[in-house]
Amino acid sequence: MTLSLALVLSSCGDGNGDGSGSGTGAKSEIIAIAADPLEYINPLNDNGSPGIQVAMAMFSPLVTTDPNTGKTVNVMAESVTPDKTSQTWTVKLKAGNTFQNGQPLTAKDYVDSWNLTAQGSNAWKNNGFFSKVDGYDELNPPTPDGATPKPTAVKAMSGLKLIDDLTFSVKLKVPFSQFGLTLQYLGLAPLPEEVRKNPDAYKRKPIGNGAYKLDGEWNAGEDIKLVKWDGYKGPNAPEADSITYRFIPNADTAYNEFLAGTVDFVDVPPTKIKTFKTDAPDGWVTGVSSGANYLVMPAWDQRFKNPKLRHAFSMAIDRKAFADLVGLATPASGLIAPDMNGYREGACKYCSFDAAKAKQLLQEAGGFSGPLNINYNTSSATGQIFAEAIGNMLRQNLGLEVKYTGKQGSEIGELADTRKLDGLRFSGWGHDYPSIEDYLTPMFKSNGDANFSGYSNPALDKVLAQGDAEPDPEKAIAIYQQAEDIALEDMPLIPLYTKSNAYLHSAKIEPRVSKYVGVSALYATFK
């Protein structure tokens, strides 16, 4: 399942730890990441959880969420100030910060880095994050769906203006009251001038502005070893002197590495949800994930065009039974994570299990033509199990013929991006910044960065724009909820569940646990 970032969590329980880990030194730790090794480190061109986890150590955002209060606090920014309409924002940087190559950190670094990302022909993954900035369209000409835009003569967004060495302004196409919150996303991190001149040359030797830097060379397939950077002047530096990120593609193998004492922190895979407390009785922590998981309906396939068919599929799913299978999971009743301000219990009127109603809706939709294909990720130990569980419900409750196709997650994503994927797939989302808007714009706006289904509805786009333009936060939430209602009625994504995540940690560390920013090994304390 695809997640934009490491999901934000809130604490549900804790243990004291009994493993030893294998890091060297009193304050070193090895963090296991159950994923293929990274090909590069560039937060402006990465919206996946593994890369962002590493980038969090090497790059510092403009602002962040305080783990104790949940309030937005400045990091690299001295101030972030909107005008009366929330359409033009002025960002002033703190003086004295530098990159890890010694170059002073200036406003120009942000402006030039953002323009580089917004240039459509570069095809960087966080390009769409700048779609609200004035002048973005000139860098992203209309392009056939799934194709990369051609280079343009224009290389800079007109909405970005340098004011002085430490100050720049951002003019948006329309007012956007949530813009200040977005500045904590690492997809907006600055790159130094030498990296901007030749990004490909620095794929494996990134130069950040965060608390940690690479410790020596990093080659393909190797662990990523970081050490504290003495030049970091930002607030709240982590405690560890060195951190190693170890990539282990199989989640069960990563889990077993922890039990063998070779790593200090690991996610508990779905296959171990029933046993992790006894496997490591004094070294576990759980947290409710501020994310949601969905079944994606392909908007490009005419067989799924009728909303009643999508409602039928949704009501044919017994979410309680499926959540029990997943483990530490709760049936979803909307598109928004439960801990978000604006979440509504029971927002989805088609998420209650009702086999008879589901069959009736399918008949009213004219039935479904041909076998239904469900795609699953073969690198996940539970991918096929979950696919077959959903497939059996649709087969039994709707009388459908169901087949299953297993592929690597990257291949599934590529086929979906080019509108060549046949059938359903699973997806998930965790917010980039704490706003209900970040669950709606990426996945349901017509040009959203994470529009998994290829969905487009001008009416929803219009309501999102109204929410963006509303300066009062509570009034904006009410408008965004209207957009959620439209998406739930159209149902390009079927909500499935939210879940608690579990982690194991060694005896020498205590992960930071915050209901606002989650469980973090990066910010662990040492015993």
Statement: residue 250 has pLDDT above 50: yes
Q: What angle do CA 119, 460, 123 make, to 5 degrees?
A: 15
216 & 304 share domain: no
345 & 217 share domain: no
What pLDDT sits at residue 449? 80
In a domain, 8, yes or no: no
Q: Which residue has tokens 């009366």? A: 84
39 & 155 share domain: yes
What pLDDT sits at residue 389? 98
Least confident range from 143-147, 194-198, 431-435: namely 143-147
What pLDDT sits at residue 97? 98
Q: Is the dihedral of CA 340, 64, 429, 121 positive or negative?
A: positive
DSSP state of 270: G
336 & 469 share domain: yes
Percent of the chain with pLDDT over 90: 77
Q: CA distances (Å), 327 to each of 14, 321, 323, 335, 511, in order? A: 18, 10, 6, 20, 22
The number of beta carbons lying within 10 Å of the beta carbon of residue 478 is 12
What pLDDT sits at residue 25? 53
Domain count, the chain: 2
Statement: residue 80 has pLDDT above 70: yes
Q: Is 304 helix (H, G, I), strand (E, B) or coil?
A: helix
The pLDDT tens digits for 356-386 are 999 999 999 999 988 999 999 998 888 999 9
What pLDDT sits at residue 220? 86
In a domain, 421, yes or no: yes
Statement: residue 432 has pLDDT above 70: yes
The pLDDT tens digits for 157-188 are 999 999 999 999 999 998 898 899 999 999 99
The pLDDT tens digits for 196-232 are 999 999 999 999 999 999 999 999 889 999 999 999 9
Q: Which residues of 431-459 are buried (b: 16+ CB within 10 A; e: fewer)?
A: bbbbbbbbbbbbbbbeebbbbbbbbbbee
In a domain, 144, yes or no: yes
Token pair in block for residue 399: 């009388």
In a domain, 277, yes or no: no
Token pair in block for residue 173: 């196409």
Q: Where are the alpha helices (DSSP H) in 21-129?
A: 49-58, 107-118
Statement: residue 319 has pLDDT above 80: yes
200 & 297 share domain: no
The domain boundary residue, chosen from 228, 246, 270: 228
The pLDDT tens digits for 42-56 are 999 998 889 999 999
Query: Helix crossing, 473-490 with 458-469: angle to 10°?
Result: 170
What pLDDT sits at residue 474? 87
Q: Where are the alpha helices (DSSP H) in 38-166?
A: 49-58, 107-118, 136-139
| Predicted confidence band of residue 17 (pLDDT cuts 50, 70, 90) | very low
Half-sphere exposure of 409 (CA within 13 A, CB side): 16
Query: Does residue 63 contact residue 74 with C-beta atoms inside 8 Å?
Result: yes
Instruction: State how far the Cα of 212 lies from the Cα of 237, in Å rounded to an integer.
Output: 9
What pLDDT sits at residue 8? 35
Statement: residue 276 has pLDDT above 80: yes
Q: CA distances (Å), 501 to each of 16, 491, 507, 520, in order? A: 17, 26, 20, 12
331 & 434 share domain: yes
| Predicted confidence band of residue 343 (pLDDT cuts 50, 70, 90) | very high
Q: Nearest CA to 195 among 204, 183, 185?
A: 204
Least confident range from 18-27, 52-61, 301-310, 457-466: namely 18-27
Statement: residue 10 has pLDDT above 50: no
Task: Read off the CATH number of the domain in which 41 is found.
Answer: 3.40.190.10
Tell me the whole-structure pTM to 2 decimals.
0.79
What pLDDT sits at residue 11? 34
Percent of the chain with pLDDT over 70: 94
Comparing 434 with 44, which gets the higher pLDDT? 44
Q: CA distances (Å), 58 to each of 199, 227, 463, 505, 521, in order? A: 16, 10, 37, 22, 14
DSSP state of 356: H
| Predicted confidence band of residue 19 (pLDDT cuts 50, 70, 90) | very low
Statement: residue 3 has pLDDT above 70: no
Mean pLDDT of 88-105: 98
321 & 456 share domain: yes
299 & 210 share domain: no
Q: Is the dihedral of CA 145, 150, 154, 155 positive or negative?
A: positive
Domain that holds residue 122: 29-228
Statement: residue 24 has pLDDT above 80: no
